[in-house]
Structure 1
Amino acid sequence: MKKTLSYSIALAALIGMAGCSQSKDSAAVDTQEATTLRFAHFWPATSATHTKVFAPWAKKIEEESGGRLKVEIFPSATLAKADAAYEATAKGTVDIGSQLQGYTNGRFPLTQITELPGLSNSATQMNCMLQTLYDDGVIASEYEDTHLLFMMGTGPGGIHTVDKPINEPNDLKGQRIRRPSAIAGDIIEAAGGTPVGLPVTDVYTSLQRGVLDGLSLPWDAMGSFKLTELANTHTNIPFYSSAIVVTMNKGKYDNLPQDLKQVIDDNSGQMMAALAGKVFDEEDDKFMAEAKAQGDVMIDIPDPLNDPLWKGPLEAGTKKYLQDISALGLDADTVYQKAKEASAACKS
C-alpha cells in the first residue's frame, strides 16, 4: 500500500512536470518573435496603391503566417527615395520595395520596352503583360539580385497642363513637361516639348512655382498626388505606360522557413498583378470623372498611332528607344515582339 501510494505520487509529479514543460513550450511558440518585413514605397498613405494594394497584401501575409510575419509599410518615400527603393531592397536596407523602373534610367532597359505606345490600353493589360514576360523569362534577368514578388503597371499616361491646350505636337513647343521615364521623355522631345526629369513628389510645388508648364502622368497618379488641383487642361493620349516592380530582398526571403516562403509565394505573381491592375483602372476612371466634373478641359486622342499629327513623334520615340537598347548589345527587337504577343494575349 505504501509502495503503491509512493508510486502514485511520483507518477503524478512526473505528469505535472511534463504538463508544465508542455505549457512552457507552448508559451515559447506563442511568444515567438515575429519576423518584421520593412516595405518602402513612394505613394502617399492616402493613395489607393497604399490602401487597396499594399496594406491589404500586408494584412494577408500576417494572417496567413499566423502572425509570424509582419509587414511594416513606409509610404511617401520615408524609408527609401522614390528612385532608390529597388536598390535599397537589393542591398537589404529595406526588406521589400516598390518603384517605377523608369526612375532609374538604364537599369531595366528590357522591361521598359513594355512602356512603349500601343502595347497597353489599361493597367490590367499592362500588369498582365509585365508579369507574363517575367514569368516566361523574357525580362527576368533584370531582377536576379532580388526576389521578385509581382509586377504592376499604370494605365496610359496623358499630358496635363495649366491653361495650355495640347491638341497637336506643335502645341508642346516651348513647354516644360515633367517626364516619368526616358521613353516618355523621348516622345515629348520628338513632339517638340522640353522633357524635365523630376520625382513625382516634387511636381506639385514645381507646377505652383511655374518651374513646369505641365506633366505626363496617368490619371491615378494625378489624383493620388493631388495634381488635379493645379493642372486643368488634359490631353488624354495613350502614348506610354509606366512599369512598376514590387520586390523582396533575396537573403531575407531565402532565410525564411519553407512554410513562410510559401505564404509569400501564395501572394505573389499574376494574382497580385491582376488585383493591382483593377485598382489602378478604377482610380483612373474616378479621377478623370472628377476632373470633368470640376470643368477641366478634356482633349481626347484615343488612337495616336493612327493619328496623322501624332503618329510621327510616337513612332520616332519608339524607334529611338529600341535602337538605344540594341546598341547596348541587347535583343530589343525580340523582346518588343514578345511584348506585343503578351499584350495581345492580355487584352481585356
Structure 2
Amino acid sequence: MKKLKTTVALVATLGALYSTSAMSQTVMRFASWMPPTHPVNEVVLPTWKKWIEDATDNRVTLAVEYNMGHPKTMFNLVEDGVADASWGYHGYVPGRFRLTQIVEQPLLGVSAEAASVAHWRVHNKYFQGAPEFDGLELVALVTHGPGQVHSTFPVNSISDLQNKKIRIGGGVQAVIGERAGLVPVAGPAPKVYEMLQQGVIDGVFLPVCDVKNLRLDEVITHTTQLPGGMYLGSFSFFINPDFLADLDPKDRDAILKVSGEQLSALGGRAQDESDVAGLEAAKAAGVNINVVAEGAPLAQEYAQLAEGIDDTWIESVADLKVDARAALDELRAVARAYQAELDK
C-alpha cells in the first residue's frame, strides 16, 4: 500500500510539473485565411512552429486560427492585437503597400523562392524606414509562383482577354488588366471557385498551385502558361510588436532568428513545390494546358504589354524618397543569381 501511495504521489507531482510547464508556454495565435490545404497552412506554418519551439526550448509555440475575417483585414487584426501574427496579400490593401510591388513586376523569370529571398534582402537594404509596415513587426516577405491565366475560354492572344471578366488580386495585376482591356473583378482568392462556378468571372490571374489548392480544375477549362509568368504576387508575415515585447528577450530574439530570410525562403519554396502539384492536378482533370514557348507570338505580345510597367511603379513611389530604380535593379540581380544557384 505504501508503494502504491508513493507511486500515486509521484504521478501527481509529475502531472503538476507538466501542467505548470504547459501553462507557462506562450501561444502565438496566428490568423490564416487560405484553406488548410494551402502550402502556407500545410507546410510553412507547421515548419515555422517547430523552428519556434526548438529555438525557445518549447517556451513559445504557434496556433493557427481560421475564419477571423476577410484577408485584407489581417494587417489590422494584428495591429489591434486581435491576433498575435498573420500573413497578408499586399494587393488586397491598395494604397498602403506600394513598395512591395517591386517584386511583382512582370518578367522577373525566377522561382518564388528566389524572388522571396531577393525581396527580403532588398527590402531590408532600401526600404527599412518606409512606413508601410508601421505597427507591425515584419518577419518574412514571400511571393507565390509565377502568375498565369486560368479561364473558361482559350487564350491564344492578348486580344482574347479583352472584355472578359477576370478576377485580379490588386497590385501590379491591376495595371496588367487595364492594359489588356479586360473587365477587372475584385475578390479574395478563397472566393474564386465560387465566382467561376456562378459565372461571375470568366477567368482569373493566379499561380498554378491554386488549380489544386482552390480546386479550380473543377471550374476552369484552360490554363495558359506564359514563360516566366505574367507577374508575381507578394505577401508578408508579421507579428504584433507588443506580443514580441512581452516575451523574454531571449525568446523574442530566437523567434526573429528563425524568421526573416529563412522563413521567406521556406515560404517561396513551398509555393514552388505546390505549383508542381497544381500543374499535375490540371493535367489529371483534363484542363487544356497551353504552355507558351519563349519567343512565341503570345509571349512577345505580353512582353510588349508589360513594357514600362516597372517605370510606372518607380514613378509611383517617388514621394517615398527611396532609390526605387537601384532597388529594382538589385532585386533582379539577386533573384537571378539565387535562381542560378538553385538550378545548378
TM-score of the pair, normalised by structure 1:
0.84
Q: Which amino acid aligns with 2:239?
A: M
Match of 2:206 among 214, 217, 222: 217
Q: Is the Cα contact below 8 Å between 2:31 and 2:87 reproduced in 1?
A: yes
Cα distance in 2 between the residues matched to 1:208 and 1:27 = 50
Identity level (%): 25
Are residue 345 (structure 1) and residue 337 (structure 2) matched? yes
Deviation at 1:144, TM superposition (A): 3.9
Confirm whether residue 184 of structure 1 aligns to residue 173 of structure 2.
yes
Q: 2:25 aligns with which of 34, 44, 49?
A: 34
C-alpha spacing 1:118/1:259, structure 2 compared with 1 (3 Å): same
In structure 1, the partner of 2:3 is none
Runs of 4+ in 1 over 4 A off after TM superposition: 25-29, 302-306, 327-331
Of 138, 145, 152, which aligns to 1:155? 145
1:89 corresponds in structure 2 to 78
Q: Note if 1:134 corresponds to 2:126.
A: no
Structure 1 residues 42 and 179: alpha-carbon distance in aligned structure 2, compared to 1, 3 A threshold = same
**How many corresponding residue pairs?**
323
* Contact 1:146–1:250 (Cα < 8 Å) also in 2: yes
Question: Which of 296, 307, 310 is the equivalent residue of 2:302?
Answer: 310
Residues 158-173 of structure 1: pairs in structure 2 closer than 5 A: 158-162=148-152, 164-173=153-162
1:301 to 292, 298, 303: 292
Match of 1:228 among 217, 221, 226: 217
**Mapping of residues 42-81 of structure 1, within 5 Å:** 42-75=33-66, 78-81=67-70
Structure 1, unmatched stretches of 5+, are 1-22
Q: Distance in 2 between matches of 1:266 and 1:328?
A: 29
Letter in 1 for 2:255: I
Q: Which runs of 5+ in 2 are unaligned?
A: 1-13
Judge conservation of contact 2:169–2:187 (CA < 8 Å) in 1: yes
Q: Secondary structure at the match of 2:201?
A: coil
Deviations 1:114-160 (Å, cap 9, x if unpaired)? 10012242111111111111332435623242112212111100001
Contact between 2:127 and 2:322, CA under 8 Å: does it hold in 1?
Answer: no
Determine if contact 1:34/1:69 at 8 Å carries over to the other structure.
Answer: yes
Specify the alignment match of 1:273 in structure 2.
Answer: 264
Residue 257 of structure 1 aligns with an amino acid whose one-letter code is: D
**TM-score scaled by length of structure 2:** 0.85
* CA root-mean-square deviation: 2.6
Alpha-carbon distance in structure 2 between the residues aligned to 1:165 and 1:27: 60
